Homo-oligomer: A and B are copies of this chain.
Amino acid sequence: MPQISAKGNAMPQSPIRKLVPFAEAAKKRGTTVFHLNIGQPDIKTPQVALDAIKNNDIEVLAYSRSEGSEEYRTKIANYYSKHNVAVKHDDIIVTTGGSEALLFTFGSIMDADDEVIIPEPFYANYNGFSTASGVKVVPVMSSIDNGFALPPIEEFEKLISPKTKAILICNPGNPTGYLYSKEEIKKLAEIVKKHDLFLIADEVYREFAYDGLTHHSVLAEEGLDENAIVIDSVSKRYSMCGARIGCIVSRNKNFMATAMKFAQARLSPPTYAQIASEAALETPDSYFTDVIEEYTERRNTLISELQKIEGVKVATPKGAFYCIAELPVLNADDFAQWLLEKFDLNGETIMVAPAAGFYSTPGVGMNQVRIAYVLEKLSLITAANILKEALVEYKATVEVATL
């Protein structure tokens, strides 16, 4: 029988996906499941994007340019100029989601066994893209106790080896909700310049900064033209996760020419989704004002409800729409499964994402979960109450039995 590759065997399973069968079984039993586990917003996609699709007059659904049309990229450059980032259309390659942007980036700058330093916890699929690209994630630990702020720069310095090619940050952070300050970005800029590394910033949650805080792009940092690479996506910005449109942005010409070869090999990003994404750029500012207000309220509600639960520790997120919560359990993986398999409160339960999958250091984050606040306020209150009651029952029955 032909064999699976070592790479294929090493590919991680989605830490969220493995619970799906238990959620489906719960629903079949008639239990309502509140999905705190996924970053799929319930916010409506801007009407201007939906209308563009309904009004398209395509007769032959043809390939687009591998890098996206010049018109769309010019509009994207204009969008960045409003965010204090000066780039031109040829500093941009349109990709099939942020996922592909990251894969092209990894392929362009890293060979087998090269290393990328990432503050952990980090977006779980970074593990998948690294394995697929044959490169190694070197984690630097951030802590819930200071809200997952940038670890001391000396901790990065200690980890840099001749194999290190890049530092990757997610800003604002999934799963932490942390928003890096201008000073933190400057520290990162210095270290990548000093060691000739790339600084890759996944900025797909750029707009989701709360409490009047400002997002600082690595592309707004001076003297970083050769080092800075931004990964972007329309998925969260316009509640268009299903479009699968993102982009790579960099002023490094060599890097862009290399990424372009990866883009050409796969021909083009999806045409319909580009039409919707181009139109989405016309979304009125009021849409974001409303959305940010909504998320701020949801965040406030969720955090205050979580803080009321005995033994739960949570850092207030400054951006994105996730938080990491530390629970008074030994194994959040087991607890998450138990919530779906064994528990309900008046016919309702919750699905959370065990946080261990967001770390690459084995054994870390075992008592943490990621909670996405992509549901409306009342559902979040109900969900927090379910969590509270579930913790009492879980500790009294399951954990007592294992002690």
Residues of A at under 8 Å CB distance from B?
A: 1-9, 11-14, 17, 38, 40-45, 49-50, 53-56, 58-64, 66, 96-97, 99-100, 103, 107-112, 114, 125, 128-129, 132, 134, 165-166, 192, 196-198, 226-227, 239-244, 252, 254-255, 258-259, 261-262, 264-273, 276
Query: Chain B residues near A262 (CB, 8 Å)?
Result: 8, 11, 128, 132
Report the bound CA distance from A42 to B125 in whole Å.
39
Chain B, residue nearest A110 (CB):
B5
Interface SS of chain A: loop
Assess the B242–A271 pair: CB atoms within 8 A.
yes
Query: Chain B residues near A261 (CB, 8 Å)?
Result: 8, 11-14, 128
Query: Chain B residues near A41 (CB, 8 Å)?
Result: 60
* Residue of A61, A64, A125, A270 contacting most chain B CB atoms (<10 Å): A61
* With known contacts A96-B244, A109-B5, A50–B58 Cβ distance under 8 A: yes
Query: Chain B residues near A61 (CB, 8 Å)?
Result: 45, 49-50, 239-243, 276
Report the bound CA distance from A146 to B240 in whole Å.
51
**Candidates B13, B125, B265; contact of A99 at CB < 8 Å:** B265
Assess the A45–B60 pair: CB atoms within 8 A.
yes
Assess the A107–B128 pair: CB atoms within 8 A.
no
Query: Chain B residues near A66 (CB, 8 Å)?
Result: 14, 17
Chain B's nearest CB lies how many Å from the CB of A199? Answer: 9
Report the bound CA distance from A192 to B270 in whole Å.
35
Chain B's nearest CB lies how many Å from the CB of A99? Answer: 4
Report the bound CA distance from A44 to B240 in whole Å.
28
Q: List 14 other contacts, CB 8 Å, given A5-B114, A12-B261, A128-B262.
A: A5-B165, A8-B109, A9-B258, A14-B261, A44-B59, A63-B241, A63-B242, A96-B96, A99-B266, A107-B132, A129-B265, A241-B268, A242-B272, A244-B268
Sample 13 A-B pairs with CB under 8 A, ordered by A number: A2-B226, A4-B258, A7-B108, A7-B111, A8-B258, A13-B261, A38-B63, A53-B56, A61-B240, A99-B265, A241-B267, A244-B267, A270-B272
The 5 closest A-B pairs by CB, nearest first: A128-B265, A242-B271, A11-B261, A8-B258, A99-B266
